[in-house]
Amino acid sequence: MKLEHKNDENVINQAAVDAERHVMEDLVNTLLAEHFFDEHDEVELLSQTEWLDRVQHNALIAAIHRKLDPSSKIMFYHWRLNLDHERIIVFPVQPAIVQPYRYDASGGVYEAGLEENGQLHLTRLNPPDLMRHIIALYGDDPITMDPDCANRLMHMLDLTLRQLGWSFENKQPAAGILDVPLASSFLELERKAAFRDRPFHPVSKVKLGWTEDEYRSYAAEFSRPIKLNWMAVKCRYLVSGSGVSRPPIELLLDEEQSRLIREEMVRRGLSAEEYMPIPVHPWQMASVLPQQLDAEIQQGICIPLNVEAGTFYSSSSLRSLMPDHGGPFHIKLPLGIHSLGGLRYLSAIKLMNGQRAEQLMRQALECDPILKERLFLCDETQWWAYLPENRDLFADHPRHLSAMARQYPHELVEDEAVRFVPMSSLAVYDKGKEGHLFDEWLRMIGSTASEASILRLFREALLPYFEICFRLFRLGMMPEAHGQNVILILKHSKIEGLLLRDHDALRLHVPWLNANGLEDPKYQLRPGYPDSLYHETPQKLFSFFQMLGIQVNSYAILESLSRYYGIQEERLWLELQECLEQAMMKADLPDEVRRTVETCLFAKETWPWKQLIRPLVKRQARVAGSMPYGQGEVTNPFSVCMKAVGSSV
């Protein structure tokens, strides 16, 4: 069924323009951070003096110059596309903190050239245009730029522009999100977070495998109800989590909805002793399982039920769905689409490892009274997964039929004063009234927006987050602490603690676990493939926090505050540094742990940096469907910030 899209032409056109600017800014900055323009004779960085000199003597540069509004801090990348200088690409940059130079989308990326008839041709490039030139620049370097992977990225960029444009046709949730009850507030904040998705990633929004109607039906920005489908699976082919005490229909559905499932089972002659109904995303049921589980369906191991029961809404992560009626149980389901370069399946092995990680973190709570008081964990031990008779945990097709009933802590869900604030929602702002969540928070505490009040809330959000991460680190573990997985618990306008979800990527340094009386959870890992869950040194474990906890999470919040409220990034970085230093003291770190944290954060000249583009264009051995990974380096942002502050004094 084709959906009607009622946005007028002006809204659609503006959404497309905004999407292109957004993607271009992320793309250019990623290329700069990952040094794609370095060490090429064709590419040079011009100071403003050098640029203005060339403006006087080069018609192509003069034509581009007339399109720009340079300031005293702007420099220019000048890229010769051929030896006789008849085609060039130029874009302006400014000195930055997290990377040497940063591009702002308002500047534009321009290609200029002379036609055969001598006429000047000037074009403002879009992201695919620029990426084609990057691919050509690395044409003789198949190690960096695999042709097949590069073509795939080009397809992702094209689709990202379309899908992000569709998202931008929607308005972000209106002001007053924190005034409504918890279930509604949480859903609206998840929807808000979806407008940014994975911060700074040029193709984070792309969902390979969905048509336009499917994207509009299932992406969180559109807030459309999703009716669960159900698959009856022979019980002897199911594995389940340690917390399972009731079947999915009893956890996720009301009595009337459960009755529909039971009646369908009876009608089909399926006994509850032999078969268990498992929830399935409707797109997965229609588009993936008929191919992936064709043999099982033919053999009667898996039987699609002709019933829809349970109304849910997509969260920002797409696989996790939130119930329309509220309550403690959300559902996480596999989706056979590619996002962030990986397939969004949900395997039994991931569920098993997540259960082991959760058990370890619950033991950690008993080691530290502050963690026990202020860190809450979603219960992710209630899950079911199809496993074929050969019990191959690493087979491909079983990963497409599973379900987790994620349970949020009862004491929080039942507290009418509590609001769940995903940290990812703090990295998003809108141009309208109360476009950033801090506006509402300020109103709640009876304050108005000023640099001092914004810095106060910034500190209140980050300080407990850093302290809890450091307390876990000293025990030898670090959760996947990006903004989508970490929820701030807001109560009576104050942060009372943190709630963690999605435990299957808990990273470990076993010697520190053992030193604190904790044991290796013994993750099950695919033989012969790189292991990312265990870290030989505490420094490598801490780098995981630097990349996800600061680069992806904290910096995204910092940037949103700088842009929305007009606060200098340097000032926010100084506040971030103070938060880290205070968190180290509050966490009461042992000497060895403190030295490790101080060295990694403040003493080292460089920081680890999670790469985004290089892993997508480089062929690498990895588990089929998993997200590509790469790590680079950037200059320590605190040293850059201190130099910038010193030079301005």
Q: Which of 355, 344, 343 is nearest to 523 (CA)?
A: 355
pLDDT tens figures, 489-540: 999 999 999 999 999 999 999 999 999 999 999 999 887 776 789 999 999 9
Tell me, rounded to whole angstroms, the distance of Cα 533 from its chain centroid: 18
- The alpha carbon dihedral of 113, 115, 117, 121 has a sign of negative
Q: How far apart are CA 323 and CA 327, in angstroms?
A: 7
pLDDT of residue 607: 95
* Tokens encoding 43: 């590419």
Residue 375 burial (C-beta neighbours within 10 Å; 0-12, 13-18, 19+): buried
pLDDT of residue 229: 98
SS (H, E, C) 327-359: CCEEEECCCCCEECCEECCCCHHHHHHHHHHHH
pLDDT of residue 647: 53
Asked if pLDDT for residue 1 goes beyond 50, the answer is no
* Tokens encoding 196: 């940014």
What average pLDDT does the segment 12-22 reach?
A: 95
Q: Which of 333, 127, 281, 317 is nearest to 205 (CA)?
A: 317
- Tell me how far CA of residue 71 lies from CA of 49, 52, 76, 93, 248, in angstroms: 12, 12, 11, 10, 60
Region of residue 615 (left: phi > 0; alpha: psi -120 to 50; beta: else):
alpha
What average pLDDT does the segment 193-220 reach?
A: 95
**Half-sphere exposure in the Cβ direction for 125 (13 Å, CA):** 22
Q: How far apart are CA 376 and CA 503, in angstroms?
A: 12
Strand (E) or helix (H) holding 134 = helix 127-137
Burial 312-325 (b: 16+ CB within 10 A, else e): bbbbbbbbbbbbee
Residue 176, classed as helix, strand or coil, is coil
Strand (E) or helix (H) holding 104 = none
pLDDT tens figures, 402-461: 999 999 999 999 999 999 999 999 999 998 777 999 999 999 999 999 999 999 999 999
What average pLDDT does the segment 269-296 reach?
A: 97
Q: Per mean pLDDT, which range of 83-92, 141-150, 181-190, 200-209 is the poorest?
A: 83-92
* Tokens encoding 59: 């018609």
Q: How far apart are CA 619 and CA 121, in angstroms?
A: 36
Q: What is the DSSP string of 471-528?
A: HHHHTTEE---STTTEEEEEETTEEEEEEE--GGG-EE-HHHHHHTT---------TT
pLDDT band at 475 (very low <50, low <70, confident <90, very high): very high
Number of residues in the chain: 649
φ/ψ of 503, rounded to 5, equals -85, -5
Which residues, other chains included, contact 466 with Cβ-Cβ below 8 Å and sequence gap of 6+?
549, 579, 580, 583
Q: How far apart are CA 446 and CA 469, in angstroms?
A: 30
- The percent of residues above 70 in pLDDT, for the chain, comes to 96
* Tokens encoding 427: 């990295």
Q: How far apart are CA 92 and CA 72, in angstroms?
A: 12
* Tokens encoding 209: 């495998």
> Helical H runs in 527-568?
538-545, 555-565
CATH architecture of 9-161: 2-Layer Sandwich (3.30)
Domain 417-603: which topology?
Answer: Transferase(Phosphotransferase); domain 1 (1.10.510)
What average pLDDT does the segment 241-269 reach?
A: 96
Strand (E) or helix (H) holding 410 = helix 410-413
Q: How far apart are CA 569 and CA 560, in angstroms?
A: 10
| Residue in this structure with the two tokens 């959300």, named with its chain if needed | 330
Domains 9-161 and 417-603 share a fold: no
Which residues, other chains included, contact 577 with Cβ-Cβ below 8 Å and sequence gap of 6+?
602, 638, 641
* Tokens encoding 508: 């470990």
Q: What is the DSSP letter of 181?
A: -
Q: How far apart are CA 50 and CA 56, in angstroms?
A: 10
What average pLDDT does the segment 19-48 reach?
A: 95
- The percent of residues above 90 in pLDDT, for the chain, comes to 84
Q: How far apart are CA 377 and CA 139, in angstroms?
A: 48
- The alpha carbon dihedral of 283, 288, 291, 297 has a sign of negative
**Coarse DSSP helix, strand, coil percentages of the chain, rounded to the nearest 5 percent:** 45, 20, 35
* Tokens encoding 640: 């850059």
* Tokens encoding 191: 């929807």
Q: What is the DSSP letter of 379?
A: B
Q: Taking the CA atoms of the chain, what radius of gyration do you get in angstroms? A: 26
Q: What is the DSSP string of 183-227?
A: HHHHHHHHHHHHTT-STT-TTTT--BT--HHHHHHHSGGG---EE
Q: What is the mean pLDDT of the chain?
A: 93
Q: How far apart are CA 578 and CA 451, in angstroms?
A: 16
pLDDT band at 649 (very low <50, low <70, confident <90, very high): very low
Q: How far apart are CA 209 and CA 182, in angstroms?
A: 33
Q: Are 139 and 55 in contact (CB under 8 A)?
A: no
What average pLDDT does the segment 372-392 reach?
A: 95
Q: How far apart are CA 507 and CA 533, in angstroms?
A: 5
pLDDT band at 367 (very low <50, low <70, confident <90, very high): very high
Give the CA diameter of the chain: 84
Residue 302 burial (C-beta neighbours within 10 Å; 0-12, 13-18, 19+): buried
Q: How far apart are CA 381 and CA 366, in angstroms?
A: 19
pLDDT of residue 432: 75
* Tokens encoding 103: 């591009």
pLDDT band at 85 (very low <50, low <70, confident <90, very high): low
Question: Residue ranges of the domains in the chain?
Answer: 9-161, 229-309+318-406, 417-603
Region of residue 269 (left: phi > 0; alpha: psi -120 to 50; beta: else):
left
Q: What is the DSSP letter of 263?
A: H
